């Protein structure tokens, strides 16, 4: 096709075998888009295209990636906010006819559907690093390193010492968005049966906090690690660790912290009540 369709925060360039998505760099552009820069998405990685009304006089063109085709989407596991979806292109409503034309043209080129056997969309390039609440995490393409901060790391992590994990020793990655309570990034080891269930006690995990591990830093990191693990070959499925009973003092501290977030307006009344009940149930 060779044409370019520009929208808010991004432009899509349609090619015979792929869509090149270029994200804008601007104060209003979602930080995740700025971090990604641009992405070339092979048509084989897509299984559909939709066009729907958006908010405030806009229309939204969205490409639907196949499950397992994009390490970023796989790592995100449905946790990305709609505004940070890298497969959405928002356009003024007056461009709906043009957007519909491109949607039809793109649909005609799609021949694949269902889960992909491998990642088809390139992962973010390494090296990558970010600051979590309790550590600095870095990834050079072959191994992940955690260097603990004395101000945030738990006693268990200090006792274990700084950590380094080879990609070959991992079976996957678990990312929980920093935009929800208790966000974290956990490396799933092949011997995952002995990993602590609590991220703050697990030397193979870093925890997020307000201003620590933001989505635009921690999610590309998780996607790059996940892509490297998949490329290294099949691994045994991790065995979930049994959740231990928590120390009452730990529960009290977490409820206190949750209350601070609630008073600061960062957690809604419903979220506060639900999470408090969840924590009390662990006693």
pLDDT band at residue 237 under the 50/70/90 scheme? very low
* Mean pLDDT (the chain, rounded): 89
Query: Which helix (H) or strand (E) covers residue 33, if one does?
Result: helix 31-36
Which residue has better confidence, 276 or 29? 29
Same CATH topology for 1-107 and 126-230? yes
Q: Are 156 and 199 within 8 A, CB to CB?
A: no
Which residue has better confidence, 136 or 256? 136
pLDDT of residue 239 exceeding 50, the answer is: no
Nearest alpha carbon to residue 180 among 208, 152, 144: 208
φ and ψ of 85, to 5 deg:
-75, 115
pLDDT of residue 161: 95
Query: Which helix (H) or strand (E) covers residue 213, if one does?
Result: none
pLDDT of residue 216 exceeding 90, the answer is: yes
**Left if phi > 0, otherwise alpha if psi is -120 to 50, otherwise beta: which for 221?**
alpha
Can you spell out the DSSP letters for 97-159?
A: HHHHHHHHHHHHH----S--SS--SPPPPSPEEEE-SSEEEEE-SSEEEEEE-TTT--HHHHH
Q: Are 160 and 204 within 8 A, CB to CB?
A: no
pLDDT of residue 71: 98
pLDDT of residue 231 exceeding 60, the answer is: yes
pLDDT band at residue 283 under the 50/70/90 scheme? low
Residue 256 token pair? 């206190």
pLDDT band at residue 251 under the 50/70/90 scheme? low
- The total number of residues shown for the chain amounts to 283
The ranges assigned to domains in the chain are 1-107, 126-230, 246-280
pLDDT of residue 266: 63
CATH, domain range 1-107: 2.30.29
Fold of domain 126-230: PH-domain like (2.30.29)
pLDDT of residue 160: 92
pLDDT tens-digit series, residues 102-147: 999 999 999 999 999 999 999 999 999 999 999 999 999 999 999 9
pLDDT of residue 244: 46
Does the global pTM surpass 0.85? no
Cα gap 84→9, rounded to integer Å: 10
Nearest alpha carbon to residue 107 among 161, 49, 65: 49
């Amino acid at each position: 096709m060779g044409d370019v369709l520009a929208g808010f925060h991004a432009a899509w360039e349609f090619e015979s075998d792929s869509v090149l998505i270029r994200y804008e760099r601007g104060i209003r552009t979602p930080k995740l888009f700025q971090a990604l820069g641009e992405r070339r998405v092979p048509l084989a990685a897509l299984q559909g295209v939709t066009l729907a009304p958006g908010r405030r006089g806009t229309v939204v063109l969205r490409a639907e990636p196949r499950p397992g085709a994009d390490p970023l989407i796989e790592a995100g596991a449905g946790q990305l906010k709609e505004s940070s979806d890298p497969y959405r292109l928002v356009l003024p409503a007056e461009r709906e006819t043009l957007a519909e034309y491109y949607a039809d043209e793109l649909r005609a080129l799609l021949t694949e559907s269902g889960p992909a056997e491998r990642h088809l969309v390139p992962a973010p390039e390494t090296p990558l690093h970010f600051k979590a609440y309790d550590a600095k995490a870095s990834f050079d393409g072959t191994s992940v390193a955690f260097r603990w901060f004395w101000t945030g790391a738990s006693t268990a992590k200090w006792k274990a010492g700084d950590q380094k994990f080879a990609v070959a020793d991992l079976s996957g990655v678990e990312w929980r968005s920093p935009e929800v309570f208790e966000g974290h990034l956990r490396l799933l080891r092949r011997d995952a049966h002995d990993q602590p269930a609590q991220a703050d006690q697990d030397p193979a995990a870093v925890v997020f906090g307000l201003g620590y591990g933001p989505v635009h830093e921690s999610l590309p990191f998780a996607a790059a690690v996940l892509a490297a693990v998949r490329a290294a070959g099949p691994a045994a499925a991790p065995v979930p660790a049994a959740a231990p009973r928590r120390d009452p003092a730990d529960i009290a501290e977490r409820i206190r912290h949750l209350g601070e977030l609630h008073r600061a307006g960062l957690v809604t009344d419903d979220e506060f009540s639900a999470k408090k009940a969840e924590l009390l149930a662990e006693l």
